[in-house]
Amino acid sequence: MTRLALRYLLLSILILSGCSQTTQFEQSHTSDKGTTTLPSNVQRWLAESLPSEPITSKPAMLEQKGEIYVRDKWLPFNASSRYSKNLENFQWDASIKVTFGVWVNAEDGHNQSEGWGGAKMWGVIPLGGQRGKQVHQMQVSRSLAELAWNPQIVQTTSGITWANTGPSSFSATKKIGEDSVTVNFELNQANEVIRAAGNRFIEVDDTFKEMQWDYKFANHTAINGIKIPLNAVATYYKPEGPWEYFRVTITSN
């Protein structure tokens, strides 16, 4: 695979999250450590997802397998995601098979002050990387959206403002300096999260632009007592039409 093709792979790796601005349906609540007051729709989701016994708060980790769409080809990957219990830190590490004998180690992540993404061929040869304001927002919106996989850390996550946005939806907003990132979640009749959506940055011709984006979730199953969606598909809604680029299955939590 050419270096240009691998650059496209890197750019695809960087677009695994979403954010949106929503109109609040009712007054929001900010969660801090020890705070249990959350909007009713969030409470419905947590009641469906968590066991009745209290869960010891600790950093969350997920193991994943899936495919990422790069230059008209689905490339398989195995990955792990780590989320601090207050969601201030997030790290995604993946091994992506490009072709026979060629693989790329990729990483995405953020802390309180910055976000990043990068890749190395065979885990050794740097293929480039990105940092900056838009990348930080991209990664924070990703970790917010992936709360669908981490309901156990919601009540210990500080600095997130929650709001009911409809009869079966809610939003989560996190400030990043003077800006903020919002993800909107949709519930089905079983109070399971089936979608996380919003506007999200994507790099087009070396310029960041915002586009509609979503995760669609399915196959909700209890793992270690926590009910989460095992399958997800990520899609950007480009002017020329939907672009599905990321399919993932959770294998353990």
- The two tokens of residue 181 are 């990132």
pTM above 0.75, yes or no: yes
Note down the domain range covering 184: 3-252
Q: What phi and psi values does residue 187 have, to the nearest 5 degrees?
A: -105, 150
% residues pLDDT > 90 (the chain): 52
Band of residue 123 on the pLDDT scale cut at 50, 70, 90:
confident
Task: Give the contacts of 42 (CB within 8 A, at least 6 positions apart).
Answer: 154, 162, 164, 170
In one letter, which amino acid is 90? F
Q: Which of the pair, 109 or 7, is modelled with greater confidence?
A: 109
Region 157-185: what's the mean pLDDT? 93
Q: Which of the pair, 231 or 209, is modelled with greater confidence?
A: 231
Q: Is the pLDDT of residue 15 over 70?
A: no
Band of residue 122 on the pLDDT scale cut at 50, 70, 90:
confident
CA atoms within 13 A on the CB side of 194: 9
Dist CA 104 CA 118 (whole Å) = 10
Dist CA 130 CA 115 (whole Å) = 8
* Predicted local confidence at residue 159, as pLDDT: 87
- The CATH number linked to 180 is 2.50.20
In one letter, which amino acid is 35? T
Q: Which of the pair, 34 or 81, is modelled with greater confidence?
A: 81
* Predicted local confidence at residue 231, as pLDDT: 98
Per the structure, the count of domains in the chain is: 1
% residues pLDDT > 70 (the chain): 84
pLDDT-wise least confident of 11-15, 110-114, 141-145, 150-154? 11-15
Region 121-144: what's the mean pLDDT? 85
Each residue of 175-193: pLDDT tens digit? 988 889 999 999 999 999 9
Q: Is the pLDDT of residue 151 over 90?
A: yes
* Predicted local confidence at residue 9, as pLDDT: 53
* Predicted local confidence at residue 213, as pLDDT: 94
pLDDT-wise least confident of 33-42, 101-110, 200-209? 33-42
Q: Which helix (H) or strand (E) holds 182?
A: strand 179-187
* Predicted local confidence at residue 248, as pLDDT: 98
Dist CA 231 CA 85 (whole Å) = 23
- Only one residue has tokens 């992540």, namely 109
